[in-house]
Amino acid sequence: MIKDITIGQYFPGSSLVHRLDPRMKLGLTVMYIVMLFIAKGFLGLGVGIVFLTAAFLSSGIQLSLMTKSVKPIVPVILFTGVLNLFFVSTGEVLVSWGFIRITEDGLRTMIFMAVRIIFLICGTSLLTYTTSPIALTDAIERVLSPLRIIRFPAHEIAMIMTIALRFIPILIEETDKITSAQKARGADLESGSVLQRAKALVPILIPLFVSAFRRAEDLALAMECRCYHGGDGRTRMKQLKVGFIDWLALAVTSLFLAGVILLNIFLPL
């Protein structure tokens, strides 16, 4: 049951999007987000949508996965939508009922915001769907490494993420095992009020923490034995190379971004 959780939601493939350098992909995603946020009108937003659709189509990711990633944020969209609808009071009044007034601007803002959030999520999902967590960690380490000058722990953060990725499946399996063991001893995890069920989790969490600490100690020892001493003087086996398709992707994305900026200036609809 808990084993079904896939962290990072990566779907292996060999499409153009999959093959992009993870650092470049990270950068392009940021550019895409900027596109969505600087767009003043629906036309600008449309340019962003066209960009994502193109990327999505070339990635070979199924549409159902995209809708799945949007589902959890529907309440957020509804909430912000309703707020915008009621609290934007400029523009022509469409409906007036008691103190509630729905204006044209309010309706427009609601739709605009909803579209923006949905495509924001789709864009970032596309990044995690097409990039393995390991490649992503690697990219984050390399993108952040210049910040080491100001003592930002780029390597340490990446190492924490790597170890987390390695141990999440192990700890999930362990949780399953402990749960079964406690059930065998008569622990009741399924009935009672929310509070009672929360309390019933204590006998699962304590052994899990004890075991996690023990593992951490073992792991630290094993890392030390293999000469780990932080990020200084460390080399990497896999060298990332920015190739032709990466520059091409950057050029295309820049064009789209420029398009949004131009639309903002000349046609802010």
Partner 1 sequence: MDNMDKSFIEVENVSFSYYSDEDGESKQNKVLKNVSLSIKKGEFTAILGHNGSGKSTLAKLLNAINLPDEGKVYIDGMDTADESRLFDIRKTVGMVFQNPDNQIIAAVVEEDVAFALENIGVEPSEIRRRVDEALKAVGMYEYREHAPHKLSGGQKQRVAIAGVLAMKPECIVLDEPTAMLDPIGRREIMKTIKELNSLGVTIVLITHYMDEAAQAKRVVVIDNGEIVLDDTPKGVFSQAKKIKDMGLDVPQVTELTHALYDCGVGLDLDIITEDECYNALFELLK
Please report, as ranges, the residues that interact with partner 1 according to CB under 8 A: 133-134, 162-163, 165-166, 169-170, 173, 215, 218-219, 221-229, 233-239
C-alpha 198: how far from its chain's center?
28
Consecutive H or E run containing 93: strand 93-97
Contact 159/134 with Cβ under 8 angstroms? no
Q: Which is nearer to partner 1, 75 or 233 (CB)?
A: 233
Burial class (CB in 10 A: 0-12, 13-18, 19+), 13: middle
Residue with tokens 């910040």: 147
Cβ at position 142, least distance to partner 1 in Å: 13
Cβ at position 102, least distance to partner 1 in Å: 51
What phi and psi, each to the nearest 5 degrees, are found at residue 118?
Answer: -60, -45
DSSP string, 94-135: EEEETTEEEEHHHHHHHHHHHHHHHHHHHHHHHHHHHS-HHH
Q: Which is nearer to partner 1, 107 or 135 (CB)?
A: 135
Cβ at position 215, least distance to partner 1 in Å: 5
Q: Which is nearer to partner 1, 7 or 206 (CB)?
A: 7
> Hey, what amino acid is at 80?
T
Cβ at position 150, least distance to partner 1 in Å: 24
Q: Which is nearer to partner 1, 152 or 213 (CB)?
A: 213
Tokens of 69: 């990633």
Q: Which is nearer to partner 1, 142 or 215 (CB)?
A: 215
Q: Which is nearer to partner 1, 108 or 215 (CB)?
A: 215
Cβ at position 55, least distance to partner 1 in Å: 26
Cβ at position 81, least distance to partner 1 in Å: 39
Contact 43/267 with Cβ under 8 angstroms? yes
